[in-house]
Structure 1
Amino acid sequence: MENNKFILDSLKANLNSLDSATTWIFVTLLIVVLASFGSDEKLEFASFKIDRKYAGPIIYGMLVGLNFQVLKLLHNVNSILIEIKSGFGAETFELARIMLNKHPWIFNPFSEFESITSLIFDNLGYALLIVIWWMGNAIAYKLMFKQGRKIKLVGTGLAGLYLVFGLSSMAMIQAISEKVTYSSLKLITPFVGIVIGAVLFSALLYPLRKEIKSKKAVN
C-alpha cells in the first residue's frame, strides 16, 4: 500500500508540474505578445529588457527550454503509467487513470468527464496546448523576421528544436492518451489545434508580409 501511495503521489506531482509549466508558458507568451506591439528598441516584459534585435532567438531559446521541461514531465507520466500497469495491478492503474482524467490542470489533454459539456471541455485543453505552441512560434518568428542573416540562422536552428520538441510532446501525449482515455475525439483534437494554431500563426505574420510587399512595390 505504501508503494502504491508513493507511485500515485509521484504521478500527481508530475501532473501538478505540467499544470504550472504550461500555465507559466501561456502567461509569459501573453506578456511577450503585448510587449512586442511596441516600437521600442528594447522589448520589456516582467522585469527583463531584451534588445528587439535578439528577441526572436532568445524567446525561441526560452520556449525550447520550457518545451523540453514539458516533454520530460510527459515522459515521466508515461513511464509511471507503464510501471503501474506492469507492477501495481489493475486497481492502482484505475486510480492513476482517474487521476489523469480528473486532474484540474487547465490544459489537461487527458481530461474525461461525464457531462453534457464534457465533449467540448475534455478536448479543449489539448487544442489549447497546441494553439499555445503555435502562438509561441509565431511571436518568436515575428520578432526574428526582419533581422540579419546570423540572427535568423540561430533562430532557425532553435525553431527546428522547438518543432522537434513540440512534435515529440504530441507523440507522448498520444501515447499516454491511449492508456488512460476512451474518447476517439482525442485523435481528432490535435488536428483541430494545429489548424487553429496555423491560422493564428498566419494572422500574426500577415502585417509583416504586407509591409514587405509594400516595400518591394515601392522599390
Structure 2
Amino acid sequence: MLKVEGINVYYGHIQALKEVSLEIKQGEIVTLIGANGAGKSTLLKTISGLLKPKKGTVVFEGKNINGKAAQTIVKQGISHVPEGRRIFANMSVEENLELGAYLRKDKKGVKDDFDMVFDLFPRLQERIKQQAGTLSGGEQQMLAMGRALMARPRLLLLDEPSMGLAPLLVKTIFRIIEEINKGGTTILLVEQNAHMALSVANMAYVLETGRVVISGHPDELHSSEQVKMAYLGGH
C-alpha cells in the first residue's frame, strides 16, 4: 500500500533521514520505534507532504506522492495525527471534527462518520459543544484521532498517541487503535511506548539517528537483545 524508498530529508544542512526505506501492506499496523530525535516524526511528515525529501520516493497505492501538497495527499487517502495533537483549541469538539471532513462533499457519508467516531470515542459525543481546549489530554488525543478519521483515510499516520497520558488511558487508546485497524484502516504508528507498540503491530522498524537499523516481525524485535536493551528497559 505504501512504499518509501531511499528517502533523504534535511533540515537546513542537518540530515534528518538517511536512505530510509519501508513498506506497509494493506490492513497492517506497522510501528516505528526509536529514541527522541531519531527521525520518526520527520518520516511521518514526509509521507503526509509536510516535508519534501531531497532524494528518494514515497509511493502510495502505486502513485508517486513525492512533492504533492499535504491537502492533495489527504484527498488521496492518508491522514496524519501529529505529535502534540494540534487540535483547534478555540473551536468546539463538533467544529474540530467537521474540519476533518472539509475536503468531502458526501454529506451522508460525513454524518455516518460522525456516528462512527462517536462509537469509537463516546466521550467526544458527551463533549460535542465543549471548547476543545478545555478537554483533558486523553480527550484531546481522542479528538485528534477522530478528526483524522473524518477524512475517511485508508492509511492513518499516528505520531505518539500515548504521549503524556495516564497508563489506563494508554490502554484505551491502543484498544481503539486496534478497533480502527479492524474496521479496515491501515496504520503507521510512531510510539515511545515500545512494549505497547510491538504488542499491536504486524511489522516493526527501528530508527536510529535517521536510519532504519532493524526491521522485522514484532516477536523478532521483542527477542532482539539490541532492541531489549535500548527500548524495552532490558526486559
Larger Rg: 1 or 2?
1
Above 0.5 in TM-score? Answer: no
Give 1 or 2: higher strand fraction. Answer: 2
Calculate the TM-score normalised by the size of structure 1. 0.23
Give 1 or 2: higher helix fraction. Answer: 1
